[in-house]
């Protein structure tokens, strides 16, 4: 029954992509059914909870501030938070019924106020890293926009140096991704971010990204940023294929991105999915976030089966732990509830994250060893 459900969803999404591209889809006959060999070993949510070898490649610092972290950061900076936990939660977490990405992004305003000093930024990295380790993470790539943390006089350089200090004192291996921001008046700040990323590359900073209102400020308007990044040998990932459609993913690939933030709208274009496979591109998928922003109305519509069938490389991430009230474990469990994951699929997804990460090759080998050990122990 589980295999039937998986196959049904894969065919469903393939039909959508084919209609979009003008193709005709015929049903599979009994002769087309692949041999399954040994029966697949499905994983339980309990097993997922205790694996203890998780990574997160798409994790926003300001969107992942827990209530406890907010209170600690406020105390450290002599900021008064005269709110109950429930009131604070409403400042940090999106409510049900969120209309779109633009409304979702409003939840970043409050945590941003606690990230305007060097001590706030340093401690936020340390607190988040400790929370991740306590949940069983072994590696994380934390991203933030330096220009968003200059409201009280810090320079982008000072923001980056504060974050590097937090990374150096973190409870687990962390890489930093510096975000440029979409907007009408962010050009000079974005160029500065790219230049500083080049200066601090391999000193804690691993890559750049561009974030913000994707539909309002399309990726095609920021070509010069990624031309500069390529000229300075700065790796980059790009938010695309989320609020904007598959064309935005094509633009990101044309710029030279090797990873795509979200990218789930690629499922609407069969030729694009094949391009992702041919070029070895990895998608940073964040299911709960995509539900929050109404990209999909139900997890049953998430293109997981199609990506698996088409061999599109993708990873499972949380995006914003606080805003979406989630973490990578919950994301895997969400997918498991809908699509009945096998142990091999979970292991492959974890290995995808390690391979696509901006970590050093030596660290990647350490992380792979931890994943292998976790799966051997859980048998």
Tokens 């991704």, residue?
177
Is residue 11 pLDDT above 70, yes or no? no
Q: Which of 294, 363, 251 shows the shortest CA–CA distance to 94?
A: 294
Radius of gyration of the chain measured on its C-alpha atoms = 20
Q: What is the mean pLDDT of residues 82-99?
A: 92
Is residue 29 pLDDT above 80, yes or no? no
Ordered domains of the chain (ranges, CATH): 2-22+41-377 (3.20.20.140)
Residue 198's pLDDT is what?
Answer: 98
Lowest model confidence (mean pLDDT) among 88-97, 174-183, 350-359: 88-97
Q: Are 306 and 10 in contact (CB under 8 A)?
A: yes
Residue 35's pLDDT is what?
Answer: 42
Lowest model confidence (mean pLDDT) among 104-113, 122-131, 189-198, 327-336: 104-113
Q: Write phi, then psi, for 355 (nearest 5 degrees).
A: -65, -40
Measured from the Cβ of residue 147, the count of other Cβ atoms closer than 10 Å reads: 21
Is residue 26 pLDDT above 50, yes or no? no
Residue 96's pLDDT is what?
Answer: 85
Give the up-direction half-sphere exposure of residue 306: CA atoms within 13 A in the CB hemisphere.
Answer: 23
Residue 101's pLDDT is what?
Answer: 79
pLDDT digits (tens, 9 = 90+) for 245-254: 999 999 999 9
Q: Write phi, then psi, for 75 (nearest 5 degrees).
A: -60, -45
The reply to whether 242 belongs to the active site is: yes
User: Mean pLDDT in the chain?
Assistant: 91
User: With bands split at pLDDT 50, 70 and 90, how would you rate the model's confidence at 18?
Assistant: very low
- Alpha helical stretches, state H, 187-324: 187-199, 223-231, 246-255, 270-279, 287-292, 304-310
Q: Are 351 and 320 in contact (CB under 8 A)?
A: no
pLDDT digits (tens, 9 = 90+) for 93-145: 998 888 887 888 899 999 999 999 999 999 999 999 999 999 999 999 999 99
User: With bands split at pLDDT 50, 70 and 90, how would you rate the model's confidence at 268?
Assistant: very high
Report the predicted TM-score, pTM, of the whole model to 2 decimal places: 0.90
Residue 97's pLDDT is what?
Answer: 82
Residue 39's pLDDT is what?
Answer: 81
Residue 108's pLDDT is what?
Answer: 94
Catalytic residue among 123, 242, 268, 331: 242
User: With bands split at pLDDT 50, 70 and 90, how would you rate the model's confidence at 304?
Assistant: very high
Is residue 32 pLDDT above 50, yes or no? no
Residue 14's pLDDT is what?
Answer: 46
Residue 40's pLDDT is what?
Answer: 87
């Amino acid at each position: 029954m589980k295999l039937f459900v998986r196959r049904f969803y894969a065919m469903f999404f393939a039909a959508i992509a084919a209609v979009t591209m003008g193709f005709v889809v015929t049903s599979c006959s009994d002769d087309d059914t692949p041999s399954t060999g040994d029966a697949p070993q499905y994983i339980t949510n309990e097993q997922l909870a205790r694996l203890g070898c998780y990574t997160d490649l798409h994790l926003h610092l300001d969107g992942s501030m827990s209530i406890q972290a907010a209170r600690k950061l406020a105390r450290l900076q002599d900021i008064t938070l005269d709110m109950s936990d429930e009131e604070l939660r409403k400042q940090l977490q999106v409510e049900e019924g969120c209309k779109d990405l633009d409304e979702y992004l409003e939840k970043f305003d409050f945590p941003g106020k606690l990230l305007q000093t060097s001590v706030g930024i340093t401690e936020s990295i340390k607190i988040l890293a400790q929370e991740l380790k306590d949940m069983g993470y072994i590696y994380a790539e934390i991203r933030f926009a330096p220009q968003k943390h200059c409201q009280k006089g810090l320079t982008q350089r000072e923001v980056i140096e504060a974050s590097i200090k937090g990374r150096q004192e973190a409870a687990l291996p962390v890489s930093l991704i510096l975000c440029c921001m979409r907007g009408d008046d962010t050009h000079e700040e974005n160029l500065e971010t790219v230049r500083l990323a080049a200066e601090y590359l391999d000193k804690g900073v691993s890559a750049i990204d561009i974030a913000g209102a994707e539909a309002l400020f399309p990726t095609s308007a920021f070509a010069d940023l990624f031309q500069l990044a390529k000229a300075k040998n700065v790796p980059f990932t790009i938010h695309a294929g989320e609020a904007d459609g598959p064309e935005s993913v094509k633009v990101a690939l044309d710029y030279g991105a090797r990873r795509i933030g979200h990218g789930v709208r690629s499922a609407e274009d069969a030729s694009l999915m094949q391009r992702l496979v041919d070029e070895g591109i990895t998608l940073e998928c964040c299911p709960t976030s995509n539900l929050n922003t109404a990209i999909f109305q139900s997890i049953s519509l998430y293109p997981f089966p199609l990506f698996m069938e088409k061999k599109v490389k993708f990873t499972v991430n949380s995006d914003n732990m606080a805003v979406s009230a989630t973490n990578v474990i919950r994301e895997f469990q969400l997918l498991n509830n809908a699509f009945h994951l096998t142990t091999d699929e979970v292991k492959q997804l974890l290995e995808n994250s390690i391979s696509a990460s901006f970590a050093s090759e030596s660290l990647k080998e350490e992380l792979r060893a931890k994943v292998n050990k976790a799966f051997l122990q859980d048998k």
